[in-house]
Amino acid sequence: MAAPPPPPTYVDANRTWVDSRVRHLVGLHLEGPALARLGARGAVCVEVGTGRRGLGTRVAVERFGARRVTAVDVHPASVDAARRRTRDLASLPGVQVDVGVADAAALPLPDGSADLLVSFHLLHHADDWRAVLAEAARVVRPGGRLALTEMTSRFVDAPWLRAVSRHPADRFSSEELLAAVRAAGFETAPERTRRWFGDRVVQAVAVRAGA
């Protein structure tokens, strides 16, 4: 039997929240440090879904030790804004930041070229989130890391959130997400995984297999 369709979305407030100052501060001061404690690190970093504030790029430089960051977003307006907001990072000695338009499932990067790929709440927006994980496995070198923070279906599929925030229908539980991370070619471990708010938010740092 097919799953019932999600409830209708009456007002789509995605952009208002994603690019808000509150959202940025939560990522910068709570989610970013938590990922660092789980082992997120890498000098050459890719951020997918950078948004207008370049959250993951800033966290990567300030918390994860990144010195070269390639940040992408599918929305040109977000890319333009992120370039402006990360200009201070690009001016730091030894730091290079490039922000461009690209699909997270088709990155314009060579195989095994990154030490770290960072995703702050991109996957629950992606039409084919498994393809994004497969692309992460392609660009992250063996022994490199995937650092992600995600809302699970327990949050995304809540009727009150669906009413004000449009997301694709086939979202994931934390176990489904972690299983897909492993299937893509990463290794997960309990000590590098945290679940928050009754399994509504999951954070993980996974290591690319093959080192």
pLDDT in tens, 175-184: 999 999 999 9
- Percentage of residues of the chain with pLDDT beyond 70: 86
- pTM, rounded to two decimals: 0.89
CA angle, residues 131, 133, 136, in degrees to nearest 5: 110
The residue-averaged pLDDT of 28-50 equals 97
Strands 68-73 and 44-48: parallel
* HEC letters along 111-157: CCCEEEEEEECCCCCCCCHHHHHHHHHHHEEEEEEEEEEEECHHHHC
Residue 4's region, left for phi above 0, alpha for psi from -120 to 50, else beta, is beta
- The residue count of the chain comes to 211
pLDDT at 99: 97
Neighbours of 10 (CB within 10 A): 10
Average pLDDT, whole number, for the chain? Answer: 89
Q: Which domains does the chain have, with CATH numbers?
A: 14-208 (3.40.50.150)
DSSP 109: S
pLDDT score for 159:
66
pLDDT > 70? residue 14: no
- pLDDT, residue 160, reads 57
Q: Please give the pLDDT value at position 180.
A: 97
Distances (CA, A) of 208 to 39, 139, 181, 193: 13, 10, 10, 15
Secondary structure tally for the chain: helices H, strands E: 10, 8
Helix (H, G, I), strand (E, B) or coil at 205: strand
Rounded to 5, what percent of the chain is helix, strand, coil?
Answer: 35, 25, 40
Percent of the chain with pLDDT over 90: 71
Q: What is the mean pLDDT of residues 50-62?
A: 95
Confidence of residue 10 (pLDDT cuts 50, 70, 90): low
